[in-house]
Amino acid sequence: MKAIICTKYGPPEVLNFKEVEKPTPKDNELLIKIYGAAVNSTDPTFRLGKPAISRLFTGLLKPKHRIPGDVLAGEIEAIGKDVTLFKVGDQVFGASINNLGAHAEYICLPEDGQIALKPINMNYGEAAAIVDGALTALPFLRDKGEIQSGQKVLINGASGSVGTAAIQLAKYYGAEVTGVCSTTNLELVTSLGADNVIDYTEEDFTKTGHTYDIIFDTVAKSSFSKCKRALNESGIYLTTVPTLPILFQALWTSKFGNKKAQFAAAGLRPTAEKAKDLLFLKGLIEAGKLKAAIDRVYSLEQMAEAHRYVEKGHKKGNVIITIK
């Protein structure tokens, strides 16, 4: 099979398009022919091994997993003898967070992993793309933010993969949503349901005088200290990046004060929880409550080019990889 192989840290050129052995499913595994994948904002981090703390998860001296990629959609080609939840021919979508391997023509995943039947109203690329952002945004808003109908929620970084999913999820839960993005992304953020949009190149959302029940900083471009004045008396600040300051602030505010800082290790949650959330998201997608925002589409052979684009930090929603 064809796959992207990465055996050392470095620039996009370390990503090699090669022929490798096709995997064979174990007794409890599914062999999936991948038709859609995505390049997320974390993929260049895993390729570079930077910041250095990321190597605790990706490998100290070289990438721990030769084939990158953690979200996918495709069709089951074969199953192990103990598989009961899926059958050959099922169209599925999901994630391979622990072992990666999605930037290839085939992958083997356990049937009780982060996998579900693909939404019937999405193509393979869209289905793969929605996994990363939505599976991140959901536990932040629902579990850490305890989002409620009627609350005011601000999404900083509203045009990224997490941000575009967060807007739609917050609207689903009945919140009034304000999205923060650049000038070129105002139309996209509005089209996804944001009630208000702030252009950060023109205005600082922390200085508008408006306050919010939840501020979800999906791109870690602000801070709890800066956002405190924009939080309601019992407001919550959420961020996706676990810096030392935010970890300390989360600990401190859990004991003192009404305004809270929160971080969720969304990717480290139990697999069963993420699988359950994937089914929940599938229901929202098929009900028309959640859709994927697609920026660009690349082929597997164009992986290095896709990485160059994503690591610029200006993608709108998701970047799809199609695998023929």
Give the DSSP per-residue string, 141-196. Answer: IIIIS---TT-EEEEETTTBHHHHHHHHHHHHTT-EEEEEE-GGGHHHHHHTT-SE
The residue type of 72 is L
Q: Indicate the length of the chain as a whole number.
A: 324
Q: Return the CATH number of the domain spanning residue range 2-130+281-322.
A: 3.90.180.10
Host H or E run for residue 39: strand 29-39
Mean pLDDT of 103-132: 96
Highest mean pLDDT, choosing among 157-171, 236-250, 267-281: 157-171
pLDDT of residue 251: 64
Q: Return the CATH number of the domain spanning residue range 132-267.
A: 3.40.50.720
pLDDT of residue 271: 85
Cα–Cα distance between 164 and 10 in angstroms, integer? 29
Mean pLDDT of 68-93: 97
pLDDT of residue 97: 81
Mean pLDDT of 278-300: 97
Close Cβ partners of 301 (under 8 Å, ≥ 6 residues apart): 17
pLDDT of residue 270: 81
User: pLDDT above 90 covers what percent of the chain?
Assistant: 77
Mean pLDDT of 40-68: 87
pLDDT of residue 268: 65
The residue extents of the domains of the chain are 2-130+281-322, 132-267
pLDDT of residue 54: 75
Host H or E run for residue 82: none
